[in-house]
Amino acid sequence: MNPFGKRLIVCALVASVLACDDGGESFAIATVSPWNEAYGLMSRQGAELAVEQINRLGGIRSRRLTLVGLDDEGTGAKAAAVAQDLVSADSILAVVGHANSSATVAAARVYDGRLPMVSPSASSPELTGISPWVFRVIPSDSANGQDLARFAASLGHTKVAILYENNSYGRGLADAFRRAFRGEIIALDPVSVDGKEVEPYLAYLRLRNPDLVFAAGSEASGLGILREARRQGLTADFLGGDGWAGVTTDTAASEGVFVATPFTAEDSRRDVQAFVRAFRAKFGHDPNSFAALAYDATMVVALAIQEAGGDREQIRNYLASMGSDRGYDGITGRISFDGTGNVTAKPMAMTRVRRGALIVHNRGSQ
């Protein structure tokens, strides 16, 4: 399909969403993620819940907020095409997305100077300063990798193997961990995103007997690694970054695994538990960090529209003004942005999987 045809599809979708609003004129935003991936669906659902709650409380400036959901398939090429279509759809004021780093890096260059974007979960260092129109509510892997390396050392581990997805997210997080870890790194190997054909890597690590295996990747590769490790009887501890939020779906393979995450449904804070109950009531399952981050990103975008109105540039300007002295208290922590669009001073929670739940082991990097 030619670009003009794709643009017509997006514009028609926007028009159909706005036509369903029986309360008059609306503000419209988009959420973009890979719908065929569990983390992408969670991200979409988090944004949907936020919009539903905003409208239940009266909307924004007495107008409804409408949400257009689009699938970028998690790839850079599709993300860039979707971004171009959204830029051309005048009704869209801002984007919550994209969900993964590779897609977000590609889309960010399209949004630059044209449409503000707040990514819930793209953590690659490549995004830092890529555009003054791009923001994110999850810390960069430059910071996360350092926290994870310190956490690994705090567990007493001195001999570590690293497995990473060969993409923006995996490479960035693995490199940050490698640079910060003070012990011995006995292996540094790329694995496929789908987690297939990991048997040779785990067989090699079983011979080398590391204290810890650090994996920089997503749920799919994580589950492949963990299942093969259990099959081979590898006894090392396993540590994953925020991309491993969904490995709890396999309770046997993930039991005892450490995961760094900006959110856990087991957090006892009142606002977190209110969010968990609302999410569970709407979708029939618990939220993970991807849902929580998308919920917060949507709330931040809504705040910017509330304060700045329906102008893309003014919305971007308001987001850029959310420095350390003016932020939003979300369920994943306080959200404010530095001059590069990165969220400021927002540590991860270090959790351990117990019977399919992420139980806080130690909040922050200490």
Q: Strand 258-261 relative to strand 237-240: parallel, antiparallel, unpaired?
A: parallel
User: What strand order describes the sheet that includes 64-71?
Assistant: 64-71, 26-33, 92-96, 117-119, 134-136
From residue 339, give the alpha-carbon distance in Å to each of 118, 174, 296, 312.
14, 25, 20, 18
What's the rounded Cα separation, in Å, for the pair 191 and 197?
Answer: 8
- Compute the distance between CA of residue 118 and CA of residue 71 in angstroms, rounded to an integer: 16
Give 306-328 pLDDT, tens digit per residue.
999 999 999 999 999 999 888 99
Residues 6+ apart with CB under 8 A from 122: 98, 99, 100, 101, 103, 104, 105, 136, 138, 169
Given a cut of 50, whether residue 22 has pLDDT beyond it is: no
Rounded to whole angstroms, the Cα distance separating 203 from 38 reads: 28
Q: Hey, what are 205's tokens?
A: 């690590």
Looking at residues 211-225, what average pLDDT do you find? 97
Q: What DSSP assignment string belongs to 249-282?
A: GSHHHHTT-EEEES--TT---HHHHHHHHHHHHH
Question: How high is the pLDDT of residue 346?
Answer: 85
CA distance 107 to 267: 33
- Specify the range with the lowest mean pLDDT, choosing from 45-49, 80-84, 243-247: 243-247
Q: Give residue 324's pLDDT.
A: 83
For the stretch 188-205, pLDDT in tens is 999 999 999 999 999 999
The tens digit of pLDDT for each residue in 252-306 reads 999 999 999 999 999 999 999 999 999 999 999 999 999 999 999 999 999 999 9
Given pLDDT bands bounded at 50, 70 and 90, which one contains residue 365? very low
pLDDT, averaged across the chain: 92
Calculate ∠ Cα 322-327-331, nearest 5°: 135
Mean pLDDT score, 74-102: 97
What is the pLDDT at residue 12?
A: 53
Residue 232: partners with Cβ closer than 8 Å, 6 or more residues away: 199, 202, 203, 206
Share of the chain above pLDDT 70, in %: 92
Q: Is 240 in contact with 222 (CB distance < 8 Å)?
A: yes
Nearest to 152 by CA among 67, 259, 55: 259
* Mean pLDDT value of segment 325-338: 94
Please report the pLDDT score of residue 2 as a whole number. Answer: 44
Q: Tell me the pTM.
A: 0.88
Under DSSP, the state recorded for 347 is P
Domains observed in the chain = 3-139+269-335 (3.40.50.2300), 141-261+349-363 (3.40.50.2300)
The pLDDT score that the predictor gives to residue 45 is: 98
Phi (first) and psi of residue 333, to 5 degrees: 120, 180
Q: What is the pLDDT at residue 184?
A: 97
Note the pLDDT tens digit of each residue in 50-77: 999 999 999 999 999 999 999 999 999 9
